[in-house]
Amino acid sequence: MTAFSACFRREAGSFGSDVRGLNRVHQFDKVEIVQLVHPDTSYEVHQQMIDHVEALLISLELPYRILRLCAGDMSFTSALTYDFEVYSAAQQKWLEVSSVSNFEAFQTNRMKIRFKGEDGKTQLLHSLNGSSLALPRIVACLLENNQTENGIQLPKVLQNYFGSCNID
């Protein structure tokens, strides 16, 4: 399942250069990827979701890295989370653009999403969630990392949509 959604953040007390501009906007759009799967396949599906997001970043020709979060950096609902970060040339730092998480049965237990196994016993599905890419940060990194003397060189995957190789 996918969902295009407008996201809203309330950042009470936030201030400073880290939260200005496209770094920490209060409203942004993103595409969520969600899967409800059999517990036996949830980690295989999780890897497929990770591969999907990585393929998006590769196609956009952006410098990126993937971080496996430690327990202290994950929400208590997640069993395993990977963050994707893209390098911001202007800010000279890595910005998170996606997270892909396996929540195992935490969310499905609360939603009571169950199935009957072959043995007839009721079991909980596993839920997985990822953001395909946070659009404001991706746009910023595309503009920052692709500057040339002749304007901004677009990645090949976007050139047909834009109708040009460059933004002049």
**Angle 77-81-85 from CA coordinates, rounded to 5°:** 135
- Separation CA 127–CA 61 (nearest Å): 30
Q: Is 6 exposed, middle or buried (0-12, 13-18, 19+ CB in 10 A)?
A: exposed
Q: Check if 68 is active-site.
A: no
CA distances in angstroms from 25 to 15, 106, 131, 135, 152, listed in the order given: 12, 29, 16, 11, 23
Q: Check if 110 is active-site.
A: no
Q: What is the DSSP letter of 69?
A: P
Catalytic residue among 99, 101, 127, 131: 99
Catalytic residue among 44, 96, 110, 164: 96
Q: Check if 9 is active-site.
A: yes
Catalytic residue among 5, 9, 20, 68: 9
Asked whether the beta carbons of 1 and 132 are under 8 A apart, the reply is no
Strand partners, 8: 27
Q: Check if 10 is active-site.
A: no
Count of H helices and E strands in the chain? Answer: 4, 11
Q: Check if 99 is active-site.
A: yes
Write out the catalytic residue numbers: 9, 24, 96, 99, 137
